[in-house]
Structure formats: C-alpha cells, structure tokens
Amino acid sequence: MYVVVSKGGAIACMLLALLFLGTWPAVMTLLERRGRLPQHTYLDYSITNLLAAVLIALTFGQIGEEKLNMPNFFTQLSQENWPCVLLAMAGGVVLSLGNLSTQYAWAFVGLSVTEVVTSSITVVIGTTLNYFLDDRINKAEILFPGVGFFLIAVFLGAAVHSSNGADNKAKLSSLSKDNTDETGGLKSTELKEGLPSKVGRKDLENGDVSVGKAKFGTADYLVELENRRAIKVFGKSTLIGLSLTFFAGVCFSLFSPAFNLATNDQWHTMKDGVPHLVVYTAFFYFSVACFVIAIILNVTFLYYPILNLPRSSLKAYLNDWNGREWALLAGILCGFGNGLQFMGGQAAGYAAADAVQVRAS
C-alpha cells in the first residue's frame, strides 16, 4: 500500500486536488447552462465519481506489502471495523447532499459566489473541527488568521449575491414590453426563432446553431441564458440560492471531519487490536455512500422534480447523450480530487488539507 508520509508529498497531493476540485464545478455549470437537466448530469457524474474511488483503492491501496497496523484494501474489507466504516459513510452522505445542493445553487447564485461562500464555510467550520481532531498538529497562529479571512469572505459573498440580484433586476426591468410574451414571461429578440425543446438543445450541444449575439451582462444576455438553461431562475426568490449555498457549505464542512474520525478513530470506537481504516478503504466506503444517496435522490427527482424542472424518466436519462462525456469527466475529476485531498490530509493533517476547499474561489 502506498502511503504519503512526507510534507512534500502531501503538498503535491493537495495541489493536484486543488486543480481537480477547481475544474469539475465549471463543467457541471456549463452543462446546466446548455440546457441539460441536472438530474441527468448528476447521475452520470456519480458513476465516474465512484469509479475513481474504486481505482484509487485497487491501485494505491494494494501497491506493495502490508505495513504494521496498515493492511491493504482487500484485507480491511473483511475486518470488523464497522464503527469507522459508518463514520466514513456519513461523510459521503453529507458530501453528496452538499454537491447536489450546489448544482442547483449555481443557477441561482452563480458559480463564483457559490464556490466562494461554500468553500469559506467549509474552511471556517471544517478546519476548526479538524484542528482539534488532529491534536493541534498545525500551527494555530498560521492556520486561524486564514480562517478569519474566509469568514469575512462568507459575508462578502452574500453581499455580492445581493448586489448582483439587484443589478439583474434593474436590467430586466428596463426591457420593453416587446420582450414580454402573452403569459407574462420574458423572451429575447435574439431567440424569436426559438430553441426547440429537443432539437434545439441537441444542436446547441453540438455547436450547430447560433443562439444570439447578446452582449455579456446585458438584459438580453440574461434573458437568452434563461431561455437556454435547464433551471429557470427568473421570478424566484434570491433566498433560495443563498439557502442552498449555506446548506451546501455546512455539508461540506462536515465530510472531512467525519473522514478524519473514520481513519484516526479519535472516539475509540474500534475494538482493541483492530487496525484503523486506511485512507483508501475509508475513501471507498465514503464514495459508496455518496453514490447511493446520489442515485436515490436523483432518480426520485427524475419523476418528482424540484424547482419547476421538467419531469424526466430513466429511459430519457439513458437516451440523453448530450454532454454526457463532460458529466463523466466531472465525476472523475471530483473523485480523484477528493482522494488526493484525503491522501494529503493523512500526512499533513486534515485541517491543512481543508485549504483545498478554496478550489474555485
């Protein structure tokens, strides 16, 4: 089994994690803005996210001979370590709920603000919890001033969202009555030709159709984006986006401490003589729980969608190949990003590893 022991190795893991975890949210946001249903995207993402954990466990978790009190992945699967397994799975549950919430929050709040606020909440709460769980191995005088700046970022992010909402409302209110349809909904002059519900989305994904030349940030651009995207946000309260964002931030702040408890057993839940969960075994169970929750919730949302999204089905999901490769890529990036974060945290402390949550900020 490969074990990261040096600070240099830990830093390398966290830098790679930073790259991967900073990329996948942008990919998911792009798909939603192109009109792909978030349920379809998240189901694809969940498959490769679990696959990444399995690959990490079967490679890094099995390389070389077993070490003292650090058995290989397959050996640990048969050991009596369920108390810590359940903690790892609890971490996977809250991460899945957080990721699912951010997928909807991106539409309401925007990618930048969502990532700044959720990452800042994660660092403020998660780093504080992990600092004490790690027996204070990181220097508080270095760690906590940074935490303080992230706390300030939470309030600044919320203020930016409020400002953006007011600015967009002012832009939309300036639209003439010509941009209002019979039902009172907004339309864009560039989209008078329309985007057919199925063909239009397919052509848009393939880049075969022109969707208008509205200038970025203008009212016409906002309306054009609204007509194209999957999650419709016009007319909905800004509190929806902020609530989803803060809920996701709390979820993200808890998954790393839960993983810390699973691998280091600070609560002494394991029987004497049973080795602690190695990072690869814990990450496997963590990802399985994340996958199960994602499948249950998103299959439910196919038939009982939230936020006025159109109803779908498993058949429609299986036939929806538009952007699937990007959703699968997002799952791989997130899976390897989380795995590398935990590998670095085992060597440098999970409080320090939480710093990669600045990923898209």
For 247-272, what is each residue's pLDDT tens digit?
Answer: 999 999 999 999 999 999 999 999 88
When pLDDT is cut at 50, 70 and 90, the band that residue 126 belongs to is confident
Specify the amino acid at residue 243.
S
Q: Span 91-100, mean pLDDT?
A: 97
Highest mean pLDDT among 2-6, 160-164, 227-231: 227-231
User: Per-residue pLDDT averaged across 194-199, rounded?
Assistant: 40
Q: What is the dihedral of CA 243, 244, 248, 251, to 10 degrees?
A: 70
> What string of DSSP letters covers 286-332?
HHHHHHHHHHHHHHHHHHS-STTPPP--HHHHHH--TTHHHHHHHHH
Q: Is the pLDDT of residue 183 over 70?
A: no
Total of domains in the chain: 1
Domain assignment present for residue 156? The answer is yes
Please report the pLDDT score of residue 113 as a whole number.
84
pLDDT of residue 234: 85
Q: Say yes or no to pLDDT of 235 above 70.
A: yes
- How large is the average pLDDT for residues 156-181? 64
The mean predicted confidence, pLDDT, of the chain is 83
pLDDT at residue number 272: 87
Lowest mean pLDDT across 93-102, 165-174, 188-197, 306-315 = 188-197
Residue 95 forms part of a structural domain: yes
Q: Which of helix, strand or coil describes residue 181?
A: coil
Domain range for 267: 7-169+233-358
Residue at 227 is within a domain:
no
User: How does pLDDT run across 138-164, given as a tens digit for each residue?
Assistant: 655 666 676 676 667 667 766 775 676
Spell out where the chain has E strands: none
pLDDT at 352 over 90: no
Q: Report the percentage of the chain scoring pLDDT > 90.
A: 52
The pLDDT of residue 204: 39
At 346, is the pLDDT very low, low, confident or very high (cuts 50, 70, 90)?
Answer: confident
Residue 218 located in a structural domain:
no
| Residue 189 pLDDT | 43
Determine, yes or no, domain membership for 180: no
* Dihedral (CA of 19, 131, 57, 327) sign: negative
Q: How confident is the model at residue 355 (pLDDT cuts 50, 70, 90)?
A: low
Residue 50 lies in a domain: yes
Query: How much of the chain exceeds pLDDT 70, in percent?
Result: 76
In a domain, 106, yes or no: yes
Would you give the DSSP letter of residue 35?
Answer: T
Task: Identify whether the C-beta of residue 318 lies closer than 8 Å to the C-beta of residue 44.
Answer: no
Q: Is the pLDDT of residue 356 over 70?
A: no
pLDDT tens per residue across span 23-72: 999 999 999 999 999 999 999 999 999 999 999 999 999 987 887 788 99
Report, as an integer, the average pLDDT of 129-137: 76
User: What value does the mean pLDDT take over residues 173-195?
Assistant: 48
Burial 259-280 (b: 16+ CB within 10 A, else e): bbbbbbbeeeebeeebbbbbbb
Query: Distance between CA 92 and CA 293 in Å, rounded?
Result: 9
pLDDT at 106 over 90: yes
Quote the pLDDT of residue 61.
93
Give a yes or no: residue 28 inside a domain: yes
* Lowest mean pLDDT, pick from 2-16, 176-190, 225-239: 176-190
Mean pLDDT to the nearest integer, 62-83: 89
Report pLDDT for 360. 41
What's the rounded Cα separation, in Å, for the pair 307 and 140?
A: 43
From 82-86, 151-155, 219-223, the region with the lowest mean pLDDT = 151-155
